[in-house]
Chains A and B, each alone.
Chain A
């Protein structure tokens, strides 16, 4: 029989284990996710501290060291650049510092565009899902129409119309990413709206606004967070894809996409130009995906 605690007279209040605490504990117990968070933290720290770590500036040209391999490069190369850990590029700029500056841009694009899509998507999806009926139908048909626009044409047209610039990249990517977020949030809202505890809250006299803020949103946050961690790498990839096509970041500023694009051109003569940015990007994407995976498992252990 379960003790009902009628006789217990303790003044100490037991601190409950909330679902969030449980999820965090499970996330930190997931080795892949934990390692990913540490690595990602290191990359982010390197990106922020880049100018302090290297004596070279990212746009400092040195015509004496054109496409030189790092000093430790195991294969014989045309020239070696001592002191440049990742070697130098076609105009003699230090690759290490450029990769870290690329990380700044790529991570910033990833985070900002995801944030934009998060705000628009959550609001749009929650409103559509909660109101339901015709309004929901209309709002989601708009999403369907936007979905069917070919993304690359959309970006090219934007670039041609407004000239290439950094901000436009956020807008273009954000404009596409929020659609999926809106759909996910709407679906979640619809299913939570059916739950008995929402009815219980209505029976308790809580108004619609209270229900959305106190019951719907906290219960939507879990799946949304998972989707966010999986969106960031998608956005980073998209940026690099646009940069690879020459639609993204402009010189001398750089991003991983631009560096990989440049490196691919000289893959045979100077492989390090491709190797290092590609390695950084791949590791970052892996980390985000592992974290996203770990978060999904942590938030919903039954669905494993």
Chain B
């Protein structure tokens, strides 16, 4: 019997004004019925283009050659009509961003049944019923009501479930899932992967799982192909790839992953307290039209912590937990609503605006998106010099230049690149620029706001190592913010877990990873994917059901303390259970 999908010698090239880009080089692969093929590669490896090209979805300037056989039938260059019949029917796709892949002006239900009516010629009422069943299948609560909602009314995880429902409802043989969980929070990612796993086992659907994340692939894929720079460099069963990688690139990818047993650095001798944050609150008014009272969104709702000299505090939480708001409020980039921030014994409330700017010598930040945080019209040397020009105007041009060159060399950038522009550099290089800009004034506290989240794993490891080295050299304190517990683990002495603007657990990192006490921390840890297929397959997860509740819902704070729901204004209080280990009150599950 012919394979479900066979791609032979596929070659994809793009004509761009800057010359030809060879995106996929001579790639071949097969997918059998009911099998999951994982395609792993870092950004720019051509992994997405491979499947887009195979199903005739290439951008206008792309050219493709080779053979694509679906059940033995050549579909490369097949008529639009044939391809349209195939796509959305027998072969469906799930993309990374569920918001942009859903039509914003159509109700969710209409979009789901569209495919059914088109491909299965099903009558409307029956299609509706099928759609409702399908939403139940992907575990969307209140499915009947959801069908009447618009995409923007659903959360990210919910939208991705709708996409999966759409992709599954026609009963396809093959689902191409292109980074299906990359835009989602870790706990939601775990749920989505569970659904995909169920699809594979119950419905015997073949899945092509494209991802940059070895952990995502490990739990689901039967066979794995590794792509680098447009080429398939290694292919084999999941066990072969993960336990006995042969190609250097695969080995490097695996080595760069944060391991579950990465030992957190020993708590260094702790200096005097640098920063004391006491009951910090930041809230934003959400206006609701002209005549209604605006709602208050409590982004940070009473957070207290102390940071010592030379210490790293990891801050972990999912989107909307207020971790970025916390960072900005501490740095006085956002006005706080209540609480105090004390820096070196000085209450920052009492400090005038102009003096706050002088304080920036000590307090610096590295942002998540390396490209967006650099002015596109400025050479990187000028960007790096910016804090110097603002904070140390007495320096001469020559001195500034020398300092910039020295700092560039320190963060691993060639000083000769001083006049280059951010768009000429890769993401990792731009993040080094961001780091150089933050470090050039010799800060005592560096805030890393998801500083490595947007980078490829191999680059991630390099940047984390660089930050660690800079800390060891200068003795600066770090607040390392991330949604990913395993990344935080490598650097942090203590870890603070945030949930909807409040601390649910704060503990030394060895303690937290070994003995998580709060159910939310446990769920987060359980959602971390290990690049270990056997362990992943065997694993029973402690899954949270559903999505994060809205921070606007006053009862959301009591998600883990349902016994106090009678008193909706109540906030779970932190209790010290061991020296330095604090846990918020919660019910026993």
Contacts and interface: CB of A to CB of B under 8 A. Distances in A.
Contacts of B197: none
Nearest to B17: A26
A14 B17 contact: no
A4 B413 contact: yes
A206 B333 CA distance: 12
Nearest to A202: B333
A12 B369 CA distance: 30
Interface in B417-438: 417-421, 423-424, 426, 428-429, 432, 434, 437
Contacts of B554: none
Given A201-B375, A203-B360, A8 B416 contact: yes
Contacts of A29: 17
Interface in A10-35: 10-20, 26, 29
Q: How large is the interface on B (under 10, 10 to 19, 20 to 34, 35 or more residues)?
A: 35 or more
B365 A18 contact: no
B198 interface: no
Contact of A16 (B386, B424, B426): B424
B80 to A, nearest CB: 23
A6 interface: yes
B376 interface: yes
A167 interface: no
A20 B409 CA distance: 27
Nearest to A14: B416
A2 B428 contact: yes
Nearest to A29: B17
B482 to A, nearest CB: 17
B391 A14 contact: no
B360 A204 contact: yes
B419 A13 contact: yes
A301 to B, nearest CB: 7
A203 B333 contact: yes
Contacts, number: 115
B379 interface: yes
Given A14-B417, A18-B377, A203-B364, A5 B333 contact: no
B580 interface: no
A205 B377 contact: no
A5 B367 contact: no
Interface stretch (A139-147, A192-200, A229-237, A283-291): A192-200
Interface string A245-280: 000000000000000000000000000000000000
A218 interface: yes
A6 B432 CA distance: 12
Contact of A13 (B357, B416, B423, B434): B416
A150 interface: no
B53 interface: no
Contact of B412 (A5, A11, A26, A301): A5
A210 B252 CA distance: 44
Contact of B331 (A2, A26, A203, A207): A203
Contacts of B378: 214, 218
Contact of A17 (B358, B386, B424, B428): B424
Nearest to B374: A197
A206 B386 contact: yes
A218 B373 CA distance: 16
Contacts of B377: 18-20, 218-219
A78 interface: no
B118 interface: no
A2 B429 contact: yes
A206 B390 contact: yes
B331 A215 contact: no
B375 A5 contact: no
Given A2-B428, A10-B416, A301-B17, A204 B376 contact: no
Which of A11, A16, A197, A204 gathers the greatest number of chain B CB atoms within 10 Å? A204
Given A14-B417, A16-B419, A16-B421, A199 B390 contact: no
Contacts of A210: 390
A272 B481 CA distance: 74
Given A26-B17, A203-B331, A203-B333, A5 B365 contact: no
Which of A1, A29, A202, A203 gathers the greatest number of chain B CB atoms within 10 Å? A203
Interface in B337-383: 357-358, 360-361, 364-365, 367-369, 372-380
B458 interface: yes
Contacts of A203: 331, 333, 360, 364-365
Given A2-B459, A207-B357, A197 B372 contact: yes
Contacts of A218: 375, 377-378
B273 interface: no
B302 interface: no
Nearest to A218: B377
A26 B17 CA distance: 8
Interface string B236-263: 0000000000000000100000000000
A300 to B, nearest CB: 11
Contacts of A11: 416
B129 interface: no
B416 A12 contact: yes
19 contacts: A4-B432, A6-B414, A10-B416, A13-B418, A14-B419, A17-B420, A17-B421, A18-B421, A196-B367, A196-B373, A197-B372, A197-B374, A200-B434, A203-B333, A203-B365, A205-B361, A205-B387, A210-B390, A214-B375
A-B pairs with lowest CB-CB distance, top 4:
A5-B414, A16-B420, A205-B360, A204-B387
Interface of A: 1-2, 4-6, 8, 10-20, 26, 29, 195-197, 199-207, 210, 214-215, 218-219, 301
Given A204-B364, A301-B17, 9 more contacts: A14-B416, A14-B419, A15-B419, A16-B420, A19-B376, A19-B377, A20-B377, A26-B17, A204-B391
